[in-house]
């Protein structure tokens, strides 16, 4: 039967135990027949552009999207070592549940990989209350035999601990906190924090000898990331920021986004169907509480959220556009020491114009006889061998004092 917990909920099914306001819009609690399998169910799931279906049919549909993303591209080798990034959001719990289900199937349907889980503790940086360690330990018990690890954002990779042995250390101001305080704008701080988190995950993957990392990004996240990358001057690497496979991480670690085809409604339905309890609210990232106009990232997030609410198909169009962008990569290209994106191999007119304007603002036209001198200075600055891409140079320019440094906790030169 395609019903949920009849033994636990009695004759009325799950309806009497649920508050209507807490349910995602679209779930029909009244009994009905599943349009997919025809079985009578006490609870039907009605997704946009799909007919109402029972819990089992919906879960099969959502899990198929996860398997299809990995299977179509054939980018996950058999028996690969996988590190799953858990941040406590609904998306990360859905990814954890899907991966665990895929590994508990029979030999024919089983996803053959060895998975570990890491939770990056960033409550101090994010300004949130600490996560309940016991809830994480309960998750590790529920999803055995996955190994659960924890590490604090901004710490060294060798400080990684298993969740069962993890001890909450006193809150100390580390190097990452100091760097964030030196950056003048919230835009630079959010960009810097995102790159440091990605680099830390790559270092943890190397520490655990994992070759692949699973990131719980869904379609709306990737649409936001695409527009944000372009706004921040990362257009040259924007395609990798939203692609299924991102191969820029250190140590030849490959980042995968197997939930890229799922939307917010499907995530909420899955959470409800599996009775999962997110540890944090989705989208509660650093600096979001300061308002929509506080940074480029916040403004882009609000713009995409408005599109999602009023023109849902437009968000899908934005996200799909990222899949069609080609990356102009050459083997001889060097990479940015901070974000590992390829540095521009040719002089860009756009970047030259930006550096020209910056030269005028800092030096003043009166110090030069003509525009050729200013253009020469702009070219010199653009071609400086600092190992940073244009966007990371912007972070460097935001520093109030001191030299831009890549944290040892986030980068491994192996």
Q: Is residue 39, in this structure, part of any structural domain at all?
A: yes
CB atoms within 10 A of CB 73: 13
pTM comes to 0.82
Average pLDDT over residues 326-332: 61
Q: Any residues with CB less than 8 A from the CB of 86 and at least 6 apart, and which?
A: 92, 93, 96, 117, 118, 119, 139, 148, 216
pLDDT in tens, 171-181: 555 678 878 88
Let me know whether 133 and 5 are in one domain: no
Q: Is residue 357, in this structure, part of any structural domain at all?
A: no
Confidence band, pLDDT 50/70/90 cuts, at residue 320: confident
Q: Is the dihedral of CA 154, 159, 160, 166 positive or negative?
A: negative
Listed range (24-33, 278-287, 396-405) with the worst mean pLDDT: 396-405
Let me know whether 97 and 222 are in one domain: yes
Let me know whether 43 and 179 are in one domain: no
Instruction: Give the residue from 368, 364, 289 showing the smallest Cα distance to 128.
Output: 289
Q: Is the dihedral of CA 288, 289, 290, 293 positive or negative?
A: positive
**Tokens 């993890």 -> residue:** 166
Q: Is residue 152, in this structure, part of any structural domain at all?
A: yes
What does the buried/exposed string (b/e) look like for 161-179 if buried means 16 or more CB atoms within 10 Å of the residue's CB? eebeebeeeeeeebebeeb
> What pLDDT, on the 0 to 100 scale, is given for residue 367?
56
Cα–Cα dist 94/216, whole Å: 8
What token pair was written down for 115?
A: 């998975």
Cα–Cα dist 126/197, whole Å: 12
Higher pLDDT, 99 or 285: 99
Angle of CA points 301, 302, 308, to nearest 5°:
90
> What pLDDT, on the 0 to 100 scale, is given for residue 396?
81
Q: Is residue 164, in this structure, part of any structural domain at all?
A: yes
Confidence band, pLDDT 50/70/90 cuts, at residue 341: confident
Let me know whether 77 and 191 are in one domain: yes
Let me know whether 301 and 318 are in one domain: yes
Residue 204, pLDDT above cutoff 70: yes
Three-state SS for the chain is CCCCCHHHHCCCCCHHHCCHHHCCCCEECCCEECCCCCCEECCEECCCCCCCECHHHHHHHHHHHHHHHHHHHCCCCCCEEEEEEECCCHHHHHHHHHHHHHCCCCCCCCCCEEEEEEEEECHHHHCCCCCCHHHHHHHHHHCCCCEEEEEECCCCHHHCEEHHHCCCCCCCCCHHHHHHHHECCHHHHHHHHHHHHHHHHHHHHHHCCCCEEECCCCHHHHHHHHHHHHHCCCHHHHHHHHCCEECCCHHHCEEECCCCCCCHHHHHHHHHHHCCCCCCCCCCCCCHHHCCCCCHHHHHHHHHHHHHHHCHHHHHHHHHHHHHCCCCCCCCCCECCCCCCECCCCCCHHHHHHHHHHHHHHHCHHHCCCHHHHHHHHHHHHCCCCCCCHHHHHHHHHECCCCCCCCCCCCCCC
Angle in degrees, 0-180, between the axes of helices 296-310 and 186-207, rounded to the nearest 10: 90
Let me know whether 138 and 161 are in one domain: yes
Cα–Cα dist 245/35, whole Å: 35
Decide: 118 and 149 in contact? Cβ < 8 Å: yes
Let me know whether 186 and 271 are in one domain: yes
Let me know whether 144 and 213 are in one domain: yes
Residue 405, pLDDT above cutoff 60: no
Looking at residue 192, which CATH number applies to its domain? 3.40.50.620
* Domain end (from 324, 339, 366): 324
Let me know whether 95 and 189 are in one domain: yes
Q: Is residue 91, in this structure, part of any structural domain at all?
A: yes
> What pLDDT, on the 0 to 100 scale, is given for residue 13?
35
Listed range (8-12, 183-187, 212-216) with the worst mean pLDDT: 8-12
The total number of structural domains in the chain stands at: 2
* Domain end (from 324, 355, 389): 324
Residue 59, pLDDT above cutoff 90: yes
**Tokens 């807490």 -> residue:** 22
Phi, psi of 302 (to 5 degrees): -65, -40
Let me know whether 46 and 105 are in one domain: no
Q: Is residue 371, in this structure, part of any structural domain at all?
A: no
**Tokens 């939770």 -> residue:** 119
Q: Is residue 215, in this structure, part of any structural domain at all?
A: yes
Q: Which domain holds residue 180?
A: 55-324
Let me know whether 129 and 42 are in one domain: no
Check whether the bond before 28 is cis (ω within 30° of 0): no
> What pLDDT, on the 0 to 100 scale, is given for residue 92?
93
CA neighbours closer than 13 Å in the CB half-sphere of residue 116:
23
Q: Is residue 376, in this structure, part of any structural domain at all?
A: no
pLDDT in tens, 237-265: 888 888 889 988 888 899 999 999 898 88
* Domain end (from 294, 324, 354): 324
Let me know whether 141 and 261 are in one domain: yes
Residue 9, pLDDT above cutoff 60: no
């Amino acid at each position: 039967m395609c019903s949920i917990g009849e033994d636990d909920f009695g004759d009325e099914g799950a309806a009497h135990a649920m508050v209507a306001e807490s349910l995602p819009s679209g779930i029909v609690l009244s009994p009905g027949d599943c349009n997919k399998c025809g079985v009578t169910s006490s609870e039907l799931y009605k997704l946009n552009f799909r007919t109402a279906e029972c819990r089992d049919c919906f879960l099969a549909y959502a899990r198929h999207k996860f398997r299809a993303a990995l299977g179509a591209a054939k980018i996950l080798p058999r028996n690969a070592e996988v590190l799953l990034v858990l941040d406590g959001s609904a998306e990360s719990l859905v990814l954890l549940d899907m991966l665990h289900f895929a590994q508990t199937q029979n030999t024919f349907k089983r996803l053959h990989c060895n998975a570990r889980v890491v939770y990056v503790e960033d409550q101090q940086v994010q300004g949130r209350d600490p996560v309940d360690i016991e809830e994480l330990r309960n998750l590790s018990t529920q999803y055995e035999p996955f190994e659960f690890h924890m590490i604090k954002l901004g710490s060294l990779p060798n400080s990684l601990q298993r969740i069962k042995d993890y001890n909450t250390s006193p809150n100390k101001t580390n190097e990452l906190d100091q760097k964030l305080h030196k950056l003048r704008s919230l835009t630079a701080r959010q960009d810097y924090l995102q790159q440091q988190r990605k680099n830390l995950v790559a270092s943890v993957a190397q520490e655990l000898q994992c070759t692949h990392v699973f990131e719980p990004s869904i379609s709306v996240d990737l649409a936001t990331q695409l527009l944000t990358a372009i706004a921040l001057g990362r257009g040259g690497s924007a395609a990798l920021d939203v692609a299924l496979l991102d191969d820029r991480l250190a140590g030849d670690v490959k980042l995968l986004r197997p939930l890229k085809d799922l939307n917010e409604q499907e995530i909420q339905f899955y959470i409800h169907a599996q009775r999962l309890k997110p540890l944090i609210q989705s989208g509660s990232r650093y600096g979001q509480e300061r308002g929509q106009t506080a940074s480029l990232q916040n403004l882009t997030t609000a713009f995409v959220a408005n599109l999602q609410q009023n023109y849902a198909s437009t968000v899908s169009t934005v996200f799909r556009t990222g899949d069609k962008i080609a990356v102009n990569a050459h083997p001889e290209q060097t990479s940015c020491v901070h974000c590992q994106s390829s540095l521009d191999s040719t002089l860009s007119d756009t970047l030259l114009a930006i550096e020209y304007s910056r030269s005028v603002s800092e030096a003043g036209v009166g110090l030069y006889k003509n525009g050729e001198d200013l253009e020469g200075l702009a070219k010199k600055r653009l071609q400086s061998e600092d190992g940073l891409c244009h966007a990371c140079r912007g972070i460097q320019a935001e520093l109030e004092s001191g030299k831009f440094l890549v944290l040892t906790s986030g980068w491994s030169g192996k």
